Amino acid sequence: GDVIVFLDCHVRPMDNWLSPLLDHIGKNYRRIVVPVIPMLDGDTWKVDETRMGVKMMFDWGLKFRWFEDGNDIVPVMSGGLLAISRRWFVESGGYDTGMRMWGSENIEQSIRTWLCGGEIMVARNSRVAHVFRSSFPYSINNTELYINKLRTVELWFDDHKKDFYAADSSASRFLSRIGSLESRRELQNRLQ
């Protein structure tokens, strides 16, 4: 297909959720589109339309939070709920295969998109409800989360690397474990 849609496994797409995403991509193949994300109760599968995520932002430590400012431009998308044209996914480098499990891939992809000629928008008439767990049913490897953050910072933060390392003083001890960034730097040079 011409469009790739990523959905976490613990979601409930609402009626007519796909068409608005496709319409947005039809206007610009370099546009990533996210739905509005209502909270979904994992026990009852009931959607709470009063609690919704629209867009995200992050601090210098790469901790992110939801916010809403009324416009459709999304600085940082959430991970796991997005639509992207196959052409832009391939052109922009897909996911960084040097990253481990999940965590910060959404920040890296968002920064790369904005710095390399793409855009991220919310389709306000698309809703995909999501279960937000209070705890994970599996163990989280914090080292792998740091590897993902550091790959993002070392590749895209330029003069702002110092802000990240000042906000998270323990991060630098994982630098030797991030692997090679050579292929991602080649991608960066090609896109910018």
pLDDT recorded at residue 135: 67
Element (H, E) at 58: strand 55-58
pLDDT tens digits for range 140-166: 778 888 999 999 999 999 999 999 999
How far apart CA 66 and CA 168 sit, in angstroms, is 21
pLDDT tens digits for range 11-56: 999 999 999 999 999 999 999 999 999 999 988 999 998 888 889 9
How far apart CA 37 and CA 56 sit, in angstroms, is 11
Element (H, E) at 13: strand 11-13
Single out the residue of 30, 29, 73 nearest to residue 54, CA to CA.
73
